[in-house]
Amino acid sequence: MATMTYLQAISDGMRQEMRSDDRVLVMGEDIGVFGGAFKVTDGFIDEFGSDRVMDTPLAESGIIGTAIGAAVVGMRPIAEMQFADFITCGFDQLVSVAGKMYYRQGLPVNITVRLPSGGGFSGGPFHSTNPEAWFMHAPGLKVVAPSTAEDAKGLLIGAVRDHNPVLFLEHKHLYRRVKGDVPDGLYTTPFEARVAREGTDLTVIAYGAMVHTALEATEDLDGASVEVLDLRSLVPLDEEAILASVRKTSKVLIVDEANQTCAAGAQVAAVIADRAFEDLDGPVRRVATPDVPIPFSPPLEQAVLPSVDRVKEAARELLEY
């Protein structure tokens, strides 16, 4: 057990999995000699060599396409998008090729795509995206999004070992802000939700950075007992955990950092409306980013991202409902 940042935990998970399994390799823009834009792969090239730590051209479709090819012949590539935003350039390879390969040809595509995502640091409209919902909509892809250092390592190793293409959303805002005890050695975290805090009066459902926003916002709400559910995995979505919590509290607030329309939280809300209707004691409320690009200006960015205050206000309203 060691205390690590979220970023160190991801790095540790990759390094250990590469040591134990020589089919695992990493590829991406400036991840080798430079160690990655966020230094996640710092030092990797010295340990594993340039055959397994590959600097690629600035071409996401090439990176993902190459990874798919490597996976088809038995490798377990981890492809890094420098920023999650850039994955749009690799969309076709991911959605049309990787997601449908097993369906069409019975070939597993054992790739992991790391997506440094999310805003909150004035990254502006090209460096702050939360793209998960696009891929939740595409069959054949799994999508996970850790909120803690321990889960970051466990979910990453789980993603590398999963036989499906897995999108691993690592939140940039958490990289060095979140620290925690991380077990030594290799372990996997199941693609299931986790109760971040138990409660009885209201359930707040979130993932990634919003878990911390939810926890902070509901830490002391006039003594209300608020449950916070950390989804951890968006595909598969842990419907049973969601329903169990809703059946207990009967009130739900869903927080998305992504743009509101068709976000992961919209799917969660639909599941609840469909399968927990008779357990609801209030409307299913959502707090999300409005459907606008993430502004560069710090005050404007803070105005659009779900803030502790907005979550607090929505939670209060539901509690009083």
Partner 1 sequence: MSSSSTSSHPPSPHSAGVVDVVMPQMGVSVSEGTIVEWRKQPGDWVEYEEPIVDISTDKIDTEVPAPAAGRVSEVVVAVGTTVEVGTVLARIATDAKPGEAHASEHAGNGNGTVSEPPTSEAAAGTGATPAPATASPAPEPAAATPGDAPGPGHRDQRRRYSPVVSRMAAEHDLDLSKIEGTGRGGRVRKQDVLAYLEDGGASAVEERPEPPMHIESPYRPEPAPPRAPTPPPAAAPAPPQAAPAPAQPQAAPSPPPAPAAEPAPVASGHGEPLSRMRKSIGEHMKRSLEIAAHCTTIVECDMSAVERRRKQIGTTALPIVARCVVETLREFPALNAWLEGDTFTQHDQVHLGIAVSLGGDGGLIVPVVHDAQDLSDEGLGRRIRELARRARDRQLSPDDVRGGTFTITNPGQFGAIAATPIINQPQVAILDLEAVVKRAVVITDDEGNDSIAIRPMTMLCMSWDHRALDGAYAAQFLTALRRRIEAV
- Phi then psi dihedrals of residue 75, to 5 deg: -85, 170
- Measured from the CB atom, the residue of 145 and 314 that comes closer to partner 1 is 314
DSSP three-state, residue 191:
coil
Give me the amino acid identity at 10.
I
Q: Considering the complex, what minimum distance in angstroms separates the CB of residue 287 from partner 1?
A: 8
State yes or no: is 127 an active-site residue.
yes
User: Shortest distance, CB of residue 222 to partner 1, whole angstroms?
Assistant: 14
Q: Torsion angle, CA of 100/207/261/301, rounded to 10 degrees?
A: -120
Closest CA to 141 of 231, 40, 243, 68: 68
- The letter for the amino acid at 177 is R
Kindly tell me which of 201 and 227 has the beta carbon lying closer to partner 1: 201
* Beta strands at 226-230 and 233-235: parallel, antiparallel or unpaired: unpaired
> What's the closest the beta carbon of residue 260 comes to partner 1, in angstroms?
9
Q: Which helix (H) or strand (E) holds 101?
A: helix 99-105
Question: Considering the complex, what minimum distance in angstroms separates the CB of residue 241 from partner 1?
Answer: 19
CB 245 within 8 A of CB 203: yes
Q: Which is nearer to partner 1, 71 or 268 (CB)?
A: 268
In the bound complex, what is the minimum distance in angstroms from residue 314's beta carbon to partner 1? 6
DSSP 290: -
Q: Are strands 194-197 and 226-230 parallel, antiparallel or unpaired?
A: antiparallel
Radius of gyration of the chain (CA): 19
Q: How far apart are CA 152 and CA 145, in angstroms?
A: 8
Task: State the minimum distance, in angstroms, from the CB of residue 285 to partner 1.
Answer: 9
Position of tokens 């990787």?
Answer: 98
- How many CB atoms lie under 10 A from the CB of residue 298? 11
Is the CB of 66 or the CB of 213 nearer to partner 1?
Answer: 213
Closest distance of CB 231 from partner 1, Å: 17
Q: What's the token pair of residue 33?
A: 């000699």
- Kind of pairing, strands 166-171 and 142-144? parallel
d(CA 200, CA 88): 41
Residue 194 vs 212, nearer CB to partner 1 = 212
- The residue from 127, 171, 173, 212 that is catalytic is 127
Q: Contact at 8 Å (CB) between 74 and 22?
A: no
Nearer Cβ to partner 1 (35/99): 35
Q: Report which of 210, 234, 209 is spatially closest to residue 286, judged by C-alpha positions.
A: 210
Q: Which is nearer to partner 1, 138 or 255 (CB)?
A: 255
Residues of this chain that interact with partner 1 (CB under 8 A) are 7, 38-39, 120-123, 127, 172-173, 175-177, 201, 209, 212-213, 216, 250, 277-282, 287, 290, 298-304, 307-310, 313-314, 317, 320-321
Catalytic residues: 127
